[in-house]
Amino acid sequence: MRVMAQMAMVMNLDKCIGCHTCSVTCKQAWTNRSGVEYVWFNNVETRPGQGYPRTYQDQERWQGGWVRTRSGRLKPRSGGRLKRMLSIFANPKLPAMQDYYEPWTYDYEHLLTAPAGEDTPVARPKSLLTGEDTKITWSANWDDSLAGGNEIAAGDPILRQVSEQVRQEYEKAFMFFLPRICEHCLNPSCAASCPSGAIYKRSEDGIVLVDQDRCRGWRMCVTGCPYKKIYFNHRTGKAEKCTFCFPRVEIGIPTVCAETCVGRLRYIGLMLYDVDAVGRAAATEQETDLYQAQRSVFLDPHDPEVIAAARRDGIPEDWLDAARRSPIWDLIMKYEVALPLHPEYRTMPMVWYIPPLSPVVDILRDTGHDGEDAGNLFGAVEALRIPVEYLAGLFTAGDPAPVHGVLRRLAAMRSYQRRINLGEERDESIAAAVGMTGTQLDEMYRLLAVAKYEQRYVIPTAHAEQAHHLEELATECSLDYEGGPGMGGSGPFGEASGSPAPIAVENFHALRQRQTADTVAAPADKATRVNLLNWDGRGRPDGLFPPRRDPDGDGHAPGQGER
């Protein structure tokens, strides 16, 4: 047994209203740069729907993740080492820009400079790739809330796999939102696909990162990741991915997406796991057993044997304490309500989901039944085949049994708590029907419905003795680095050559020089962004809000916000 700690996330899908706040704040913090205009480290997709990039879940087509060979070993689905090297000159399975979408902006300047004329001037869409006029035909959430109806939702790979004869009737379609970030897998196939070895899993907290200085732009990781959460920066020629906001997590604050989540549906915490068991678990023969196989890899932080092994393997005491208080442990192991996204890809993902009960409740209510009565709900979970099988296609490799179990526990909690809310007696039989007690249902309810910030985000900080190695919490002035303050512009060898500025410094300048460029494609000053990564909610960084009217009425906004 070799113990490692993993920073993990659980999202409660019943609470997601699809507002995209997580996506927008993530983009502002991380991908508000040229070359990654099309990139969303966090995106929210509507299910059923094609997702982003389109149909990424169709691994027959995109060849992401791992496959189990006949001898029982794992190899990347797109091929082993030799095959990958032979296809290095033209990756046959790389999604094209059209599979994401062509990024665009609008020619706003025309609104101001158009000569007087008969017609109102319009701001034409301009491609951010070429600067030419473009027609907007797709985006990261084009099919949001089932927009496009049958025509687009029919392209959903999971729906196709649920049943050949599902004829979607638009007005009867169920719908929910699925926010996605990088899964920070225990067995990352992106790292396995990287010829340069630039993608690594941090041994302290399990965050999967791309070393920007080692990446050589072979673009194999994009194919390797079955979730398509590695993106190719087409200006720097390097792969980029969700970082789990490591500069924030290292100092104990949650990721930007979790911090800004309006529905408070995200939970962050530690999981201890046995590294030596990962490979065997990921190579489990039956795909439907992979969910349980992954659970078997996790180690109980309350178990004295595990604690002793963790101490031996150098996990600090406060991290062990955080692992014991981890909401992730409770949701995955104690209440068994969280499920992994696509365990059949065999990457052992570490962002788990509490499947939504609402499609079931909605259908029940629409048919005139009491949608929160325990008996009705239990019956509906069994009877409503399509939503449940669809959820199973997402979370348990198609096995409806675990999904049934989770939905029944959620249904029990809902009707149990409703009785309390209505002043009726506690009905222990509801809890007993799902093998729990009333107290447990109460605890689960507290965690799912009323948990405070400190309970939802249990993030131990990195250690003071490591402070010198951290991104944000530097022991010296963050501007004391070679070349001094200054960023923007390109090196002599193409876009963004030279070394990247440390993220802290980059943000400092982003706060000063934002949103000033007026060129469309390839802005000369690439430091044009509002960066939320270090904005603490106080003050008014320029460009984040519309300018304030000067009280004297000369229409000029004050140059600097009050800081």
Partner 1 sequence: MNVLLWVIVPYLSLAVLVGGLVWRHRYDRFGWTTRSSQLHETAVLRWGSPMFHFGVLMVLVGHIGGLLVPKAWTEAVGITEHTYHLMAVFVGTVAGLCTLIGMAVLILRRRLTGPVFAATTRNDKAMYVVLGAVLVLGLWATVRANVAGDGYDYRETISPWFRSLFYLSPDPQVMAGVPVGFQIHILAAFALFAFWPFTRLVHAFSAPVGYFTRPYVVYRSRDDRRGLRPTRPGWEGPPTLPKPRAAAGRGSQPRRGAR
Count residues near partner 1 (CB under 8 A): 92
Nearer to partner 1, 133 or 305 (CB): 133
What one-character DSSP code corresponds to residue 532?
-
Q: How far is the CB of 120 from partner 1 (least distance, A)?
A: 29
Nearer to partner 1, 164 or 482 (CB): 482
Site residues (CB under 8 A) for partner 1, limited to 241-260: 241, 243, 246
Please report whether residue 409 would count as binding partner 1 according to CB under 8 A. no
Nearer to partner 1, 240 or 389 (CB): 240
Please report whether residue 495 would count as binding partner 1 according to CB under 8 A. yes
Each as own residue / partner, the long-range contacts of residues 245-249 (CB below 8 Å, 24 or more positions apart, any chain) are: 245/29, 245/533, 246/202, 246/205, 246/207, 246/209, 246/471, 247/470, 247/471, 247/472, 247/503, 247/504, 247/533, 248/472, 248/533, 249/7, 249/205, 249/207, 249/459
Q: How far apart are CA 141 and CA 353, in angstroms?
A: 20
Please report, as a single letter, which amino acid is at residue 484.
Answer: G
Q: How far apart are CA 406 and CA 389, in angstroms?
A: 13
Nearer to partner 1, 195 or 438 (CB): 195
Q: Note whether 330 and 440 are within 8 A (CB).
A: no
Pick one of 149, 489, 539, 558: the residue that binds partner 1 (CB under 8 A). 489
Nearer to partner 1, 303 or 480 (CB): 480
Q: How far is the CB of 82 from partner 1 (least distance, A)?
A: 8
Q: How far is the CB of 496 from partner 1 (least distance, A)?
A: 7
Pick one of 140, 310, 436, 487: the residue that binds partner 1 (CB under 8 A). 487
Pick one of 61, 214, 302, 385: the residue that binds partner 1 (CB under 8 A). 214
Q: Note whether 85 and 101 are within 8 A (CB).
A: no
Helices (H), 3-64: 21-30, 59-62
Name the helix (H) or strand (E) containing 240.
Answer: strand 238-241
Nearer to partner 1, 153 or 470 (CB): 470
Q: Note whether 274 and 268 are within 8 A (CB).
A: no
Nearer to partner 1, 57 or 189 (CB): 189
Pick one of 503, 510, 511, 533: the residue that binds partner 1 (CB under 8 A). 503
Pick one of 357, 394, 496, 532: the residue that binds partner 1 (CB under 8 A). 496
Q: How far apart are CA 108 and CA 92, in angstroms?
A: 38
Nearer to partner 1, 194 or 268 (CB): 194
Please report whether residue 485 would count as binding partner 1 according to CB under 8 A. yes
Site residues (CB under 8 A) for partner 1, limited to 521-560: 521-522
Pick one of 161, 461, 478, 534: the residue that binds partner 1 (CB under 8 A). 478
Q: Count the neighbouring beta carbons within 10 Å of the beta carbon of residue 502.
A: 17
Please report whether residue 345 would count as binding partner 1 according to CB under 8 A. no
Pick one of 488, 543, 547, 561: the residue that binds partner 1 (CB under 8 A). 488
Site residues (CB under 8 A) for partner 1, limited to 77-116: 81-82, 84-85, 88-92, 94, 96-97
Burial code (b: 16+ CB inside 10 Å, e: under 16) for 298-307 equals bbebeeeebb
Binding-residue pattern over the window 418 to 457 for partner 1, x denoting contact by CB under 8 A:
----------------------------------------
Left, alpha or beta for 95 (phi > 0: left; psi -120 to 50: alpha)?
beta
Pick one of 114, 129, 166, 173: the residue that binds partner 1 (CB under 8 A). 129
Please report whether residue 474 would count as binding partner 1 according to CB under 8 A. yes
- Is the torsion defined by CA of 324, 327, 332, 334 positive or negative? positive
Binding-residue pattern over the window 282 to 311 for partner 1, x denoting contact by CB under 8 A:
------------------------------
Pick one of 63, 139, 161, 212: the residue that binds partner 1 (CB under 8 A). 212
Query: With CB under 8 A as the contact rule, which of the stretches 297-305, 363-371, 474-482, 548-556 interacts with partner 1?
Result: 474-482
Nearer to partner 1, 128 or 433 (CB): 128
Site residues (CB under 8 A) for partner 1, limited to 149-208: 187-188, 191-192, 194-197, 199-204
Each as own residue / partner, the long-range contacts of residues 462-471 (CB below 8 Å, 24 or more positions apart, any chain) are: 462/204, 462/250, 462/251, 463/316, 470/247, 470/250, 470/251, 471/246, 471/247, 471/250, 471/502, 471/503, 471/504
Instruction: For residue 92, give every residue at least 6 positions away whose Cβ sits within 8 Å of its Cβ, in sequence order, or none.
Output: none
Q: How far apart are CA 179 and CA 19, in angstroms?
A: 10
Query: With CB under 8 A as the contact rule, which of the stretches 293-301, 389-397, 417-425, 492-500 interacts with partner 1?
Result: 492-500
Pick one of 302, 469, 548, 549: the residue that binds partner 1 (CB under 8 A). 469
Q: Note whether 53 and 38 are within 8 A (CB).
A: no
Site residues (CB under 8 A) for partner 1, limited to 45-84: 76, 81-82, 84
What's the N-to-C CA distance of the chain in angstroms? 51
